[in-house]
Amino acid sequence: MTPVARNLLIACVVVYLLQMVMGATLELHFALFPPNPYIPTFEPWQLVTYAFLHGSFMHLLFNMFALYMFGPEVERLLGPRRFLTYYIVCVIGAAASQLLALRAVGNPPVPTVGASGGIFGLLLAFGLAFPHRRLMLLFPPIPMPAWLFVTLYGLLELYLGVSGHDSSVAHFAHLGGMVGGFLLILYWRASARAR
């Protein structure tokens, strides 16, 4: 494990343990709530803090497994400082997308939690950096190149988000993490060319 990826993983596990102790109190202040004049629960820091909370042990497990699998490779590629910047931008991009999606359906006071937006950004970076690296799906166990895995996963999230399937999952947050990461990569590339 690389240092930033390891520290993110530890932070998410520690916060989850705090959630087990503190319950809804922690979520009330740090989960991502849509702005709502009748229920004033939105605070600006929630654009980042929601990514350290998780709704269940399995939610945490899958996100931390993906962080463990893809985070170190991307961190070695970008370096610790850029990796952290990239991850936070993906988390904020995911939050912005989720807030826009909730606004489209009338801002229900439903909190969003989970590192998935940042994880999807890492998947995108991994797929762009190592497009021909073979990945093995769990269900079904089919090997495929990283670029195809990331593309299909992104398209699946778009379909699920637009169709409304599994509405308890923040599909647009996942897509927002990818978009935020992609825009930052484009910015970095343009800055490098300008120099």
Task: Report the distance separating Cα 152 and Cα 120, nearest Å.
Answer: 12
Q: To which residue do tokens 């490779």 refer?
A: 73
- Identify the residue whose tokens are 């709530």: 33
pLDDT at 38: 66
174 is an active site residue:
yes
In this prediction, residue 37 carries a pLDDT of 67
- Predicted local confidence at residue 76, as pLDDT: 97
For residue 32, the cross-strand partners are: 112
Amino acid (one-letter) located at 189: R
Is pTM, for the whole model, over 0.85? yes
pLDDT band at 142 (very low <50, low <70, confident <90, very high): confident
28-32, 87-91, 174-178: segment of lowest average pLDDT? 28-32
pLDDT at 167 over 80: no
Say how many C-beta atoms besides its own lie within 10 A of residue 59's C-beta. Answer: 17
List, in order of start, the domains of the chain with CATH numbers.
3-194 (1.20.1540.10)
From the candidates 56, 116, 163, 167, which is the catalytic residue? Answer: 116
pLDDT tens column, 40-73: 688 899 999 999 999 999 999 999 999 999 999 9
Q: Which pLDDT belongs to residue 57?
A: 95
Instruction: From the candidates 54, 97, 171, 174, give the one annotated as an active-site residue.
Output: 174
Q: What is the pLDDT of residue 107?
A: 63
Catalytic annotation present for 171: no
Residue 186 has, within 13 A of its CA and on its CB side, a CA count of 6
The residue type of 182 is F
Q: What percent of the chain has pLDDT over 90?
A: 68
